[in-house]
Amino acid sequence: MTIVNHLIHGELTAGTGRSADVFNPSTGAATKKVALADRATMQLAIDSAKSAFPAWRNTPPAKRAQVMFRFKQLLEQHEATIAKLISEEHGKTIEDAVGELKRGIENVEFACAAPEILKGEYSRNVGPNIDAWSDLQPIGVVAGITPFNFPAMVPLWMYPLAIVCGNCFILKPSERDPSSTLYIAQLLIEAGLPKGVLNVVHGDKEAVDALIEAPEVKALSFVGSTPIAEYIYSEGTKRGKRVQALGGAKNHAVLMPDADLDNAVSALMGAAYGSCGERCMAISVAVCVGDQIADALVEKIVPQIKALKIGAGTSCGLDMGPLVTGAARDKVKGYIDAGVAQGASLVVDGRDLVVAGNENGFFVGGTLFDKVTPEMTIYTDEIFGPVLCIVRVGSLEAAMQLINDHEYGNGTCIFTRDGEAARLFCDEIEVGMVGVNVPLPVPVSYHSFGGWKRSLFGDLHAYGPDGVRFYTRKKAITQRWPQRASHEAAQFAFPSNG
């Protein structure tokens, strides 16, 4: 069976740790094994990154950016291979895999601007013959720990920017779908990245703990579920590391009575069922303001859910593939059982879906609940599956209160033709990313991505301008070069221009 190996100091190696099965979720079969790093293997990667740092730190930003230009070309050239690898291990459709890769490439494009984004600020004559400037310096060895649901895009949120900022990076991808992540990293080596600047080490808790505890690792970027985000944030910051930990979500879409319903339904279909609901920005709750819009939504959306084209992700022209693992499928079905037991109205039931020819795949069909209330677990918890819940409320204020009371605050959106309602929503909703008639308001690469409340631990958002701040340390330099040597008497009052 193929083993997905680590990439340490530019070489593939199995290391000395354990291994785990990697599945094809469309067939349910274990198709590969992935090496799981022990502490000794992780230390090899840390040593490699540390040894590469002095030279990389002093490489001109324009040269670092040139590697990223070549990387972008290679990513585009190998789009089909990467999309197939994603789909084979994650289960998402080929078109969806291409979409995630393209959004990842946008982060590489942003990193290509390294000389511009690292310029700092300069002031001449802040005092007599004194100039001052700020320098954005790299941190050193930094690490990223990424989730299964975007094996290409989320790592690309992190390491291109960290690396052009002059850092050396250790990536610990999800062990559930590691092949596309490894393949992409190999393309960066092919683009000319020196050995050790990027190392990819697969693993589970043991590997992550080794990164948290290593004094050489100065910063950690994490994306994944909230309990692990909280763990990494608290353990990392306790050790004096800079940590940015993005967690889970429960994203609400508000449907106002004046919404353009046909377009809102199309938007909800893609946002709730795309990628089988395994997106941190997936819409999983439709909050309908008034029974009239709720009834109209149910009438229009039910036939579309029943018509979803579901099958092996690697086939083209589908709407939805399977969930990532058998455990994920069982968890989603368990939530649907709980929704029924807790009294929600199950309008479309995806539990019994069987895909002909792929009977052992990890499939759950599109599911819709109506009349969901805030105490139900299908409302409180992140299900991470193709389940949309309708909650009925009486006013925009009640809809906003519901959203603001939820523990997560990643994304949200409002469907309306009313500018006043949209403005109030944008101003007062306690969520990090907001869409107005846009269901998945994922910021483009030159803005930054991040939720509020228990969807993000840390001060800065991911990628874009906040990413530059996260991966650099600011140094303020004040310099005097008197025009000719002259003696100045000691000055005991605090220096000022007064």
Q: Which two tokens stand for residue 315?
A: 């086939």
Residue 462 CB, shortest distance to ligand NAD, in Å, is: 7
Site string for ligand NAD, 358-387 (x = CB under 6 A): ------------------------x-x---
Residues 83-122, mask of contacts with ligand NAD (x by CB under 6 A): ----------------------------------------
Question: Contact with ligand NAD (CB under 6 A): which of 64, 72, 92, 172?
Answer: 172
Question: Taking CB under 6 A as the rule, does residue 148 contact ligand NAD?
Answer: yes
Q: Is 227 exposed, middle or buried (0-12, 13-18, 19+ CB in 10 A)?
A: exposed
DSSP at 442: P
| CA distance linking residue 65 with residue 110, whole number of Å | 10
Q: Does 468 bind ligand NAD (CB under 6 A)?
A: no
Q: Which is nearer to ligand NAD, 56 or 457 (CB)?
A: 457
Cβ neighbours of residue 498 under 8 Å, at least 6 residues apart?
A: none
Query: Residue holding tokens 């000691």?
Result: 490
Helix (H, G, I), strand (E, B) or coil at 323: coil
Find the binder of ligand NAD among 155, 236, 248, 322 (CB under 6 A): 248
Residue reference for tokens 């800079």:
242
Q: Binding residue for ligand NAD (CB under 6 A) from 85, 145, 152, 468?
A: 145
Does position 160 interact with ligand NAD (CB under 6 A)? The reply is no
Residue 325 interacts with ligand NAD (CB under 6 A)? no
* DSSP assigned state of 197: S
Q: Are 462 and 122 in contact (CB under 8 A)?
A: no
How many CA atoms lie less than 13 Å away from 47 in the CB half-sphere?
A: 6
Active site residues: 280
Residues in the interface with ligand NAD (CB under 6 A) total 27
**Element at 387 (helix H, strand E):** strand 387-393
Sign of CA dihedral 369, 373, 376, 381: positive
How many alpha carbons lie under 13 Å from residue 210 in its C-beta half-sphere? 22
The binding track of 392-411 with respect to ligand NAD, each residue x by CB under 6 A or -, is ------------------x-
**224, 244 Cβ separation under 8 angstroms:** no
Q: Which residue lies nearer to ligand NAD by CB, 120 or 465?
A: 465
Decide: 163 and 57 in contact? Cβ < 8 Å.
Answer: no
Chain residues 177-206 in contact with ligand NAD, contact rule CB under 6 A = 204-205
Encoded one letter per residue, x for contact with ligand NAD by CB under 6 A and - for no contact, window 268-287 reads ------------x-------
146 binds ligand NAD (CB under 6 A): yes
Residue 245 CB, nearest distance to ligand NAD (Å)?
Answer: 9
Instruction: For the chain, count helices (H), then strands (E).
Output: 16, 23
Token pair listed for 171: 């990536």
Q: CB-wise, 47 or 204, nearer to ligand NAD? A: 204
C-beta of 370: minimal distance to ligand NAD in Å?
Answer: 24
Q: Is residue 472 a contact point for ligand NAD (CB under 6 A)?
A: no
Residues near ligand NAD (CB under 6 A) are 145-150, 154, 172, 174-175, 204-205, 208, 223-225, 228, 246-249, 280, 382, 384, 410, 451, 455
